[in-house]
Amino acid sequence: MILLKSPAEIAKMEAASRIVAEILAEIQTRVKPGVETRELDELAEELCRRHRVEPAFKGYRGYPASICVSVNDEVVHGIPGRRKLKAGDLVSLDFGVRRDGYYGDAAVTLAVGEVTPQARLLLQATEESLYAAIDKARPGNRLSDLSHATQTVVESYGFSVIRQFVGHGIGRSLHEDPQIPNFGPPGRGPILKPGMTLAIEPMTAAGSWEVKILADGWTAVTQDGSLAAHFEHTVAVTEQGPLILSRI
C-alpha cells in the first residue's frame, strides 16, 4: 500500500531531507586521500547530534553505522572502518535521518582525487539517470516509467544497472511501498499520484550487474570487481511535478 502524504507531512519530510543534504555536503568536504572511512561515520554522528536528528541507518536490521561508505567495487551498504581512501577511488556516501517522525534519504558518489575517464563517466551516467527518473515522478505517469528512464540512460553509456537493490517509498518508515527497480519496461505499475514520496536510487556498475554480499553480511560488491556508483534523492510527487526534498 502506497501511503500518500499531505502537504504538511511533505514539509516535514523536506525538513528532514534538507538536513540529510546539508550533512552529506559537509561530509563530502572531508573526502580526501588518507581519510579513514570511520572518520566520515564519526562526523555523520556528530552532525546528527548538532542538528538534533536521529541517524536513520544505525541499528536498522542491525546495521552498525550511521552512514554507508562504499568504495570502488562496493555498490552499497559498505560499513565504515579502518580503510583509508586513496586517490583514484570512487566513494559512495549513503545517508539518512529521522526528524519529527519522518525520514529523508540520499546518496552521492564522489571521485577521490584524479580518477579514470571511465570512472568519471560512470558518475556522470548514474547521476544523469537519477535526474531522468526524477523527471518522470509526475502525476499520471506509471512507476516503471522511472525504472525505464534510469536503465535507458545507464545502458546508453554501456554501463549496467544493479538488479538486486531498488529504490523505495519513504515517509514515517525508511522503507515503504513501492519498491522502485532501476530497470524494466515503461508503463507498468502503480499510477503516480500527488503525495507519493519516493527515494529514487540508481545503483550502477561499469561491468556486469551481478553482486555478492561480503562476509560482514552487508557490503554488496560487484561480482566482476568492476566499479560501482550510487546516487539517491528523496522526492515528492506534486501537482506541479517532482519536488526534490533532499536538497539544500
Question: What residues numbered 96-155 form the site for Co ion, per CB under 5 A?
Answer: 105
Q: Evaluate the CA torsion angle 214, 179, 161, 96 in order and state its sign.
A: negative
By C-beta, is 68 or 130 nearer to ligand MF3?
68
Of residues 172-211, those binding Co ion (CB under 5 A) = 199
Does residue 25 bind ligand MF3 (CB under 6 A)?
no
Among 34, 46, 49, 60, binds ligand MF3 (CB under 6 A): 60
Q: Which of 38, 63, 111, 194 binds ligand MF3 (CB under 6 A)?
A: 63
The C-alpha cell 561508505 sits at 69
Omega before residue 7 within 30° of 0, cis? no
**Which x/- pattern over 79-118 shows residues binding ligand MF3 (rule: CB under 6 A)?**
---------------x----------x-x-----------
First to last CA, the chain: 30
Binding-residue pattern over the window 174 to 213 for ligand MF3, x denoting contact by CB under 6 A: -------------------------x-x------------
Strands (E), the chain: 54-55, 67-71, 74-76, 90-99, 102-111, 160-161, 167-169, 176-180, 197-200, 203-205, 211-213, 220-222, 228-230, 233-238, 241-244
Compute CA distances 28 → 23, 94, 122, 220, 223, whole Å.
9, 11, 18, 22, 27
Output 35 or 56, the one with its CB closest to ligand MF3.
56
Residues that bind ligand MF3 (CB under 6 A): 57, 60-61, 63, 68, 77, 94, 105, 107, 168, 199, 201, 232
Residues that bind Co ion (CB under 5 A): 105, 199
